[in-house]
Amino acid sequence: MARYTLQRLIYMIITLFIIATATFFLMKLLPGSPLQNQEKLSPEQQKIILEKYGLNDPVPVQYVRYLGNLVKGDLGVSFQYDNRPVTQLIGDRIGPSAQLGFQALVFGTIVGILLGVIAAVRHNTAVDYGATVLAVLGISIPSFVFGGLLQYYIGVKLKLLPVAFWDGFEYTIMPTLALSVFVIASIARFMRTEMLEVLGSDYILTARAKGISGFGVIFKHGLRNAMIPIITILGPMAVNLMTGTLVIEQIFAVPGLGEQFVRSINLNDYPVIMGTTIFYSALFIFVIFIVDVLYGLIDPRIRLAGGKK
């Protein structure tokens, strides 16, 4: 286990290094200059500005400096917000995104598990079919379509919830719903299959034969074992929530990291794009790492391929 963890840790670092390098060189290839009103500035002024940001040095020098700063946790300064450090920018913006992601994950997991368990227990009935249809729809309808529809019908037409912006809990309800649809759908699908398999196993039969109530068997014996493999879909889920926040924050005008990222893309703010990319990647890689390690720890039946060698 320790060896496997170490191996994964090394991969994690290599992957991050490649991402950082690729990001750096792709940004160097980008068309467009970060200088605003370039034509109005005299060559001397341009030179001073470029000098200030270290953009005049040869690319290898910039690259080494960039990597060195990265190790120290310095992601550079933003062009668009007068030299504000990118780390500070990310720190300011991460709150709403994290809150949305967390709420969607918790809400989605609870609803998804319930839906999946009910579908499995009522296997091959109208309830089961209903839940299955809902789950397929949830996976298929893009989150931005769902977000737009929610905003239009609940916010604009029925005026039940605020249409957009970020000013208290009721503002988080619609974005959370829109984000959680995919979580609900994928967990429900997964839960249903796992639950069906677990409910068919011998120890469930034993438990029933011993006279434990149906409810107790389902939740104490069934659910516990059915929930283990859910850890495996946490990775794709994290990616989906990340993608989701990019569009959902746009739609609902949430001042989060996703909205900031999209804006920086449109404004050619390289340091912010680079910093956010690396931040997102690191987050993602870390989640995958944790998931892999957890999976081996939680379920002793699973012998990881790397650990056996």
Partner 1 sequence: MTEKQLSPELFELATERQGDMEKINRPSLTFLQDAWLRLRKNKGAVFGLIMIIAITLMAIFAPIMSDRTYKQQNLQHAKLPPRIPVLENIDWLPFNGKDMNGIDVYEKRGVKEYYWFGTDDLGRDLWTRTWYGARISLYIGVLAAAIDLLIGIIYGGVSGFYGGRVDNIMQRIIEVLVGIPNLIVVILFILVFEPGIISITMAMVITGWVTMARIVRGQILKLKNMEYVLAARTLGASDARIIGKHLLPNVVGPIIITTMFTIPSAIFTEAFLSFIGLGIRPPEASLGSLVNDGYKSIQTFPHLMMIPAFVISLLILSFNLLADGLRDALDPKMRK
Count of C-beta atoms within a 10 Å radius of residue 262: 15
Q: How far is CA 135 from CA 47, 100, 116, 141, 187, in A?
A: 57, 21, 9, 10, 9
**Distance between the two ends of the chain, CA-based, in angstroms?**
10
The residues, ordered by sequence, that sit 6+ positions from 152 with a Cβ below 8 Å of its Cβ are none
The 261-300 site mask, x for binding partner 1 (CB under 8 A), equals: -x--xx------x---x--xx--xx--x------------
Note whether 193 binds partner 1 by CB under 8 A.
yes
How many residues are present in the chain? 309
Return the number of the residue (143 or 176) whose C-beta is nearest partner 1: 143
Centre a 10 Å sphere on the Cβ of residue 185 and count the other Cβ atoms it contains. 23
Q: Interface with partner 1 includes 48 (CB under 8 A)? A: no
| Structure tokens given for 216 | 């107790």
Of 86-145, binders to partner 1 (CB under 8 A) are 136-137, 139-142, 144-145
Between 212 and 295, whose beta carbon lies closer to partner 1? 295
| Count of residues touching partner 1 (by CB under 8 A) | 46
Q: Contacting partner 1 (CB under 8 A), which of 6, 26, 48, 160?
A: 26
Tell me the per-residue interface mask from 248 to 267 with partner 1, x by CB under 8 A, - otherwise: --xx----------x--xx-
Query: C-alpha distances in angstroms, 179 versus 127, 184, 301?
Result: 24, 9, 33
For 242, phi and psi rounded to 5 degrees? -65, -50
- 246 touching partner 1, by CB under 8 A: yes
Is 78 a binder of partner 1 (CB under 8 A)?
no
Binding site for partner 1 (CB under 8 A): 11-12, 14-15, 18-19, 22-23, 26-27, 29-31, 136-137, 139-142, 144-145, 148-149, 151-152, 156, 193, 196-197, 239, 242-243, 246-247, 250-251, 262, 265-266, 273, 277, 280-281, 284-285, 288
